[in-house]
């Protein structure tokens, strides 16, 4: 019985690979309701009805990689490239601080302009201006030396989705120049260096199966990332996966609940991608056990260019509008955005 599996997960926070697979293949409306109820119970026990916000600054859409799913992949010649200057990045953070953000996520493609020295200077300056803030980086794979340097400069957290815990699936999503082993090694190094680490994956990515998803869940169970970014895969018109279908709201919300039960303290965002496939996707994500939202703080004139997938939302709004919009959305479902660094409560 799947209900028994759900109760077992809620109690022991662990299932076998086969059990995780069954949790996915045998799900129905009734089991989804039970799962959601238990996940929200855990979420409320640890975080109450607080929603943590992260100000997302998309620093560059220049990337040396060619991930098959990604709209800013290097072989997309239709993508208009941009890179923010250090001054622009610092002023986005200043603006965000005034809007109540205490965490900034610097995200971008793997752009060699952003050397350790340049990033270090940006991190130090943001920290100097706002000592009560956390800085999260999401800049892909770098060397141990680089991660160590950036940590030393003041970076607190690093988001690096593992994308899939199945090696064959990984090779179906990425060209052979990218390696599953290195992705996993980077996550390990980040952990060793004392970062709060974020892993994660897309739901409904091409070639994903209940078996690969079970491997993702087992990986989350063993690695216990402080953050776990999951959102639906959405095709981008200029990628090899242009004709593939999107991941669904239903399965994304179901997996958000599963992940909350696997590792109850995890920081779990209701992603922009979830808000893109459904008008109230982010609210439904929170109601499934998520506890983080990431409004956009990038300058409005570059937002459309950071198009990882088609029809991405929030590309026309000013930062203050985006912040206000999410605040209203969270209030409408009985949750509230809080002004704090929003560290994990272990």
Q: Which residues bind ligand FES (CB under 6 A)?
A: 295-296, 314, 317, 321-322, 325-326
CB of 160 to ligand SAM, least distance (A): 5
Q: Which is nearer to ligand SAM, 304 or 328 (CB)?
A: 304
What is the rounded CA–CA span in Å between residue 245 and residue 241? 9
Binding at 326: pick from ligand SAM, ligand FES, none (beta carbon under 5-8 Å per type): ligand FES
Q: Does 312 bind ligand SAM (CB under 6 A)?
A: no
**Which residues are within 8 A (CB) of 17 and not within 5 positions of it... i.e. 6 or more apart?**
214, 215, 218
User: Residue 234 half-sphere exposure, CB side, CA atoms within 13 Å?
Assistant: 21
Residue 52's φ and ψ, nearest 5 degrees, are: -85, 140
Confirm or reject binding of residue 225 to ligand SAM (CB under 6 A). no
* Among the listed residues 70, 126, 227, 290, the single contact to ligand SAM using CB under 6 A: 70
Q: Is 197 in the site for ligand SAM (CB under 6 A)?
A: no
Region near ligand SAM per CB under 6 A, out of 75-83, 107-115, 190-198, 332-340: 107-115
Of 202 and 217, the one with the shorter C-beta distance to ligand SAM is 202
What DSSP designation does 246 have? P
CA distance linking residue 176 with residue 124, whole number of Å: 36
3-state secondary structure string, 29-85? HHHHHHHHHHHHHHHHHHHCCEEEECEEEEEECCCCCCCCCCCCCCCCCCCCCCECC
Choosing from 202, 213, 270, 294, the residue that interacts with ligand SAM (CB under 6 A) is: 202
Nearer to ligand FES, 288 or 296 (CB): 296
| Radius of gyration, alpha carbons of the chain | 19
In the list ligand FES, ligand SAM, none, the entry touching 295 (Cβ below 5 to 8 angstroms by class) is ligand FES
Counting contacts by CB under 6 A, is residue 57 touching ligand SAM? no
Residue 106 pairs with which residues in a beta bridge? 57, 137
**What would the x/- binding string for ligand SAM be over residues 248 to 287, using CB under 6 A?**
-------------------------x--------------
Closest Cα to residue 333, out of 116, 40, 5, 72?
Answer: 40
Residues that bind ligand SAM (CB under 6 A): 69-70, 107, 109-110, 138-140, 160-161, 163, 202, 231, 233-234, 236, 273, 308-309
């Amino acid at each position: 019985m799947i209900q028994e599996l759900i109760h077992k997960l809620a109690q022991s926070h662990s299932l076998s690979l086969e059990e995780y697979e069954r949790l996915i293949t045998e799900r129905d409306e009734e089991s989804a309701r039970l799962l959601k109820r238990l996940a929200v119970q855990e979420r409320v026990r640890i975080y109450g009805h607080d929603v943590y916000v992260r100000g997302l600054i998309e620093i560059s859409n220049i990337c040396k990689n060619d991930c098959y799913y990604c709209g800013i992949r290097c072989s997309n010649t239709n993508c208009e490239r941009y890179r923010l200057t250090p001054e622009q990045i610092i002023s986005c953070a200043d603006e965000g601080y005034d809007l109540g953000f205490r965490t900034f996520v610097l995200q971008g493609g793997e752009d060699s302009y952003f050397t350790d020295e340049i990033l270090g200077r940006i991190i130090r300056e943001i920290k100097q201006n706002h000592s009560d803030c956390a800085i999260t980086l999401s800049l892909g794979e770098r060397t141990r030396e680089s991660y160590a340097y950036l940590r030393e400069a003041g970076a607190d957290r690093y988001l690096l989705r593992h994308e899939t815990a199945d090696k064959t699936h990984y090779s179906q999503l990425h060209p052979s120049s990218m390696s599953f082993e290195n992705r996993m090694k980077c996550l390990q190094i980040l952990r060793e260096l004392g970062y709060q680490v974020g892993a994660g994956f897309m739901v409904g990515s091409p070639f994903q199966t209940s078996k690969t998803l079970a491997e993702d869940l087992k990986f989350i169970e063993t690695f216990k990332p402080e953050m776990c970014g999951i959102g639906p895969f959405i095709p981008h018109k200029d990628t090899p996966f242009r004709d593939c279908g999107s991941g669904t709201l239903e399965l994304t919300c179901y997996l958000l609940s599963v992940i909350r039960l696997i590792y109850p303290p995890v920081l779990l965002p209701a992603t922009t991608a979830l808000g893109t496939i459904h008008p109230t996707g982010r609210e439904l994500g929170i109601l499934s056990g998520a506890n983080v939202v990431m409004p956009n703080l990038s300058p409005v004139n570059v937002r459309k260019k950071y198009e990882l997938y088609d029809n991405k939302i929030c590309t026309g709004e000013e930062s203050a509008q985006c912040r206000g919009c999410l605040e209203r959305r969270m209030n409408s479902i009985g949750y509230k955005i809080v002004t704090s660094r929003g560290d994990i409560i272990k």
